[in-house]
Amino acid sequence: MFPSFRSVFMAGWALLSFVVFLNPVLGLNNGVAKLPVLGYNTWNAYQCDIDEDLIVTTAKLMKSLGLQDAGYSHVNLDDCWAEKNRTSTGAVVPDTVRFKSGMKALTTQIHALGFKAGIYSDSGWFTCAGYPGSFEHEEQDAQTFFQEWGFDYLKYDNCAKYQRMADAIASVSQNFKLKVVFSLCEWGWSQVWLWGSQMGHSWRTTGDIGPNWPSLTAIINFNSFITQATDFYGRNDLDMLQLGNGGLTYEEAKSHFTAWALMKSPLLIGTNLSAITNDILGILKNTEILAINQDPVEGSSISPFRWGINPDWTSNDTYPAQYWSGPSQNGTVVMLLNTLDGPSDLFFNLTESPWIRAGRQYSDLWTHTDNGTAVRNFTAASVAPHGVVALLLKDAGDEPSNIYPDCAVWFQCTAENGTHVGG
């Protein structure tokens, strides 16, 4: 009898997790992108309907809406910016109507507004939309993009041919003393370690995101098994932010942003900023959540410490892990995710998180508020359907005396003289 797909799938995850544990992923350390990139990408909101005026207008909106002040530093073009054919010398050229002023003029305007500029290409002969890819033109395109046009970031699509462009970027960067962010769009876990960790600053781990809750939970589920792959200079890319594009409730939008930020994914806005609501803008500018994404001391992602609805290590696209935690420079980060369609209480013992010490009490600093002190456990009551709770727990000293049982882990409670105590 052949093994089920599920058993093979989970066995593969277990092996992969073991490999990552033995060999932590280190991203491309070339002096840039130590932290996740914050910025804007044109694809989700506009796809091929882009031109130079739209890009400059978007950069100005990011500035006027306070997104630049919140840390969003990049304005990136996606597919469809080029002419369909290269020149006789093999050069790729921008669309002469939609980018009539040329790319150097565009990056000059973006830089003058205080942003960095990003561009898109593909590892094959063609991009996904049918424009020229960089295959067999890697060195030429790298010089064009970065040295001639002045771009600072490259989103590179398709799969399994990244070494050529990685080498080209390294050569151009060294020759012209440039610092370039290289973002790989791979869409598959098998390449996360084989390709991305050696060649890029971030690597896509799934297919394109959709503006709906099932798409978000599937991406969260997938990435819950590979959080070890994220640290300084290299990280899992969960795809662009879909906030404000319709299809998500306000609570779902908060969960989307919180999960992406705390898993240390790049945060690239994909919204029509001219139509953005104050609610969505408030989510994007949540300074407490952004500070954890941009933590200069702790580069790792949060990870599940309990799955919740399902047994631990269960892969379920509809009901991913609910209980997550990780370190930060200011305390232990906790994310509680309600994947149910109705309100739910989310309870956990503090010491379930590997980052929390037994025998201590913790002050709960949540976004914009101080919710008091937690001792041994915490309950988030009536979390909204598809909603999220984000906590930052700081050590607040010894537990109060006379708490029963004597220890948080009561069945392994030992007194100073070595004898077992408690219930």
pLDDT in tens, 123-149: 999 999 999 999 999 999 999 999 999
* DSSP sequence for 48-116: T---HHHHHHHHHHHHHTTTTTTT--EEE--S--B-SS--TT----B-TTTTTT-HHHHHHHHHHTT-E
Q: Give the whole-angstrom CA distance, residue 172 versus residue 191.
A: 25
311: number of Cβ within 10 Å: 9
Indicate the SS3 state at residue 40. strand
More confidently predicted of 416 and 82: 82
Q: Bridge-partner residues for 183, per DSSP?
A: 155, 202
Q: Give the closest residue to 166 by CA, choosing from 137, 135, 198.
A: 198
Q: Determine which one of 78, 79, 122, 157 is catalytic.
A: 157
Q: Give the whole-angstrom CA distance, residue 332 versus residue 262.
A: 12
How does residue 232 score in pLDDT terms, banded at 50, 70 and 90? very high
Q: Give the closest residue to 65 by CA, choosing from 288, 280, 368.
A: 280
Q: Give the whole-angstrom CA distance, residue 198 versus residue 177.
A: 20
With a CB cutoff of 8 Å and minimum separation 6, the contacts of 382 are 343, 344, 345
How does residue 173 score in pLDDT terms, banded at 50, 70 and 90? confident
Tokens 């990049």 belong to residue: 74
Domain positions in the chain are 38-294, 303-395
Tokens for 116, please give them: 């960095």
Q: Give the whole-angstrom CA distance, residue 275 versus residue 277.
A: 7
With a CB cutoff of 8 Å and minimum separation 6, the contacts of 126 are 132, 133
Active site annotation includes 208: yes
Output the pLDDT for position 32: 76
- Where is average pLDDT lowest: 14-23, 112-121, 284-293? 14-23
Q: Give the whole-angstrom CA distance, residue 287 versus residue 290.
A: 5
Q: Give the whole-angstrom CA distance, residue 91 versus residue 64.
A: 36
How does residue 78 score in pLDDT terms, banded at 50, 70 and 90? very high
Q: Which amino acid, one-letter code, is at 125?
A: W
Q: Domain 38-294: what homologous superfamily?
A: Aldolase class I (3.20.20.70)
With a CB cutoff of 8 Å and minimum separation 6, the contacts of 268 are 37, 38, 39, 40, 41, 74, 76, 240, 241
Q: Give the whole-angstrom CA distance, residue 378 versus residue 353.
A: 12
Q: Determine which one of 49, 53, 69, 208 is catalytic.
A: 208
The CATH fold assigned to 303-395 is: Immunoglobulin-like (2.60.40)
Active site annotation includes 295: no
Handedness of CA 147, 102, 73, 41 (dihedral sign): negative
